[in-house]
Amino acid sequence: GNSVTQMEGPVTLSEEAFLTINCTYTATGYPSLFWYVQYPGEGLQLLLKATKADDKGSNKGFEATYRKETTSFHLEKGSVQVSDSAVYFCALNSGSEKLVFGKGTKLTVNP
Amino acid sequence: DTAVSQTPKYLVTQMGNDKSIKCEQNLGHDTMYWYKQDSKKFLKIMFSYNNKELIINETVPNRFSPKSPDKAHLNLHINSLELGDSAVYFCASSRGQGNGNTIYFGEGSWLTVV
């Protein structure tokens, strides 16, 4: 079945540090890949997405590239801010009308 | 303008009670969903509807009954609430079928069963 594996958290960084959150997937066919973010006490927001191999999704300084050869969609940001503290979810949709989520990675950015 | 709105945002209730969570989307989407987020933040789909028809039912107990009066609304009714039902329930919607469609989530309903 389809599945998403993302790095275990929590991740704690200092402001302006480089962020990578690893995400790999297993899927049949050609899924679309997503990163969602959940700020404390809030709902899920779409951060970025990519729908085919080699696509790069980007938003708010975050980037992720759809790598079919390594079945990965790692999230990166060059310089994190305190306001980026949240839980980040990698997800895939393989056309079965549902998102399959990873377990989430909690990021804390300290000033 | 809120795209996917759900009410109530917080709900505390006793075991055995029946409760409902309402959801509405104003995006003109055809497909709506309910997801459950457990205490470890794990998210899993419960149901999806396309144009008021049930598409996905992920082995959710019969105590959970979704109802879609029209394609802009998908309500979740829960009978005989149990402690293990405590979770955050997210309503969501998407334009339709196809894996490239973005799914938009509501702000969640925090249910606590005591």
For the stretch A48-74, pLDDT in tens is 999 999 999 999 999 999 999 999 999
Are B103 and A93 within 8 A, CB to CB? yes
CA distance B60 to chain A (A): 15
Tally A–B CB contacts below 8 A: 64
* pLDDT > 90 in chain B, percent: 75
Which tens digit of pLDDT belongs to each residue from A12-36? 999 999 999 999 999 988 899 999 9
Confidence class for position B60, pLDDT limits 50, 70, 90: confident
* pLDDT > 90 in chain A, percent: 81
Confidence class for position B1, pLDDT limits 50, 70, 90: low
- Identify the CA nearest to B76 among candidates B22, B113, B25: B22
Mean pLDDT of B2-30: 95
Long-range contacts of A41-50 (CB under 8 A, 24+ apart): A42/B107, A42/B108, A43/B90, A43/B105, A43/B106, A43/B107, A43/B108, A44/A89, A44/B43, A44/B90, A44/B92, A44/B105, A44/B108, A45/B105, A46/B102, A46/B103, A46/B104, A47/A75, A47/A88, A49/B102
Distance in angstroms (rounded) separating the CA atoms of residues B35 and B56: 11
Which tens digit of pLDDT belongs to each residue from B34-43? 999 998 889 9
Task: Provide the mean pLDDT of chain B.
Answer: 92
Which tens digit of pLDDT belongs to each residue from B79-94? 999 999 999 999 999 9
Q: Which of A36, A88, A97 best tests the B interface by mutation, with the highest count of B CBs <10 A?
A: A97
Phi, psi dihedral angles at A105 (to 5 degrees):
-130, 120
Distance in angstroms (rounded) separating the CA atoms of residues B28 and B19: 27
Measured CA distances, A89 to A74, B28, B43 (Å): 11, 26, 9
Residue of B nearest to A86 (CA): B41
What's the token pair of residue B113? 């069963």
pLDDT above 80 (res B100): no
Mean pLDDT of B30-49: 92
Q: What pLDDT does B97 receive? A: 66
Burial class (CB in 10 A: 0-12, 13-18, 19+), A18: exposed
Q: What pLDDT does A65 receive? A: 98
Q: What pLDDT does B80 receive? A: 97
